[in-house]
A = this chain, B = another copy of it.
């Protein structure tokens, strides 16, 4: 069963990679912006968001081979890649390394990095609009979800809060809100996209919102805990000097919160999509790997 699972996941990863390659074709040699768009998106990433979209859609009863579904997954990955590029530029986090490579602005220059991020964002909306065989009404709902996740109620606002508030004392609540905006909102949009395509109930969609919120917090807490640990492919001690929950509450308390959100996430997911076997297994395997990699300790209930 583990072999089957790994094969299934590998097949999804290959399908995503191939589709991303098609959606971001090689341009001419002078096309540095196009190169940066490809580099930032096609370089080895964890593909958590697109995989979540595909697996959740499956758990909600949708055929995972449904045409168009893969395109939506690619659109989410493009938006994620664009947000990483922008977070890294000199006037934001000024990061040196990402996914184990020099950041895009270090390879291509700042102006190209910014233009590539804009190119990816607009391409993502175009990919949604052109996704095959999906009803137009679904596609406009998806555009709304992505627009909200990127804009003032999502990534843009989260990045701004992080920049302004990261260097000053702030409350745990302020940190949690920033984390929610920076991470949970795009997870939410991702899962709502699966729900839209699967024509899921209002109840399921509400539970997926709760799942996304927990999941985003788990990722941010894990990110905070792993800052200072090598092997993440990102800068070490990038958060040094920022007021984070780890700094405020200590490692143990953050660890405990992480476990609580992880359990809560699992429960919401199980209720949202009929036990959610595929997605929950993916989450379990993924977090088990992280646990080992960062020497963290938690346990998840068995499905």
Contacts and interface: CB of A to CB of B under 8 A. Distances in A.
Interface in A1-38: 27, 30-34, 37
Contact of A140 (B117, B118, B140, B146): B140
A277 interface: no
A241 interface: no
Contacts of A91: 109-111, 114
Contact of A122 (B86, B136, B156, B164): B156
Give how many copies assemble into the complex: 2
B118 A118 contact: yes
Interface of A: 27, 30-34, 37, 86, 89, 91-92, 109-112, 114-119, 121-123, 125-126, 128-130, 135-137, 139-141, 143-144, 146-148, 150-152, 155-157, 159-160, 163-164
B152 A125 contact: no
Q: What is the interface of chain A mostly: helix, strand, loop, or mixed?
A: helix
Contact of A147 (B92, B123, B139, B147): B123
From A140, A143, A160, name the one whose CB has the most chain B CB atoms within 10 angstroms. A140
Contacts of A126: 143-144, 147-148, 151
Contacts of A125: 125, 143, 146-147
Contact of A33 (B34, B122, B129, B152): B152
Given A33-B160, A122-B156, 19 more contacts: A31-B157, A33-B156, A33-B157, A34-B152, A91-B111, A92-B114, A111-B163, A118-B151, A118-B156, A122-B150, A125-B146, A125-B147, A126-B143, A126-B148, A129-B141, A129-B143, A130-B140, A139-B140, A143-B143
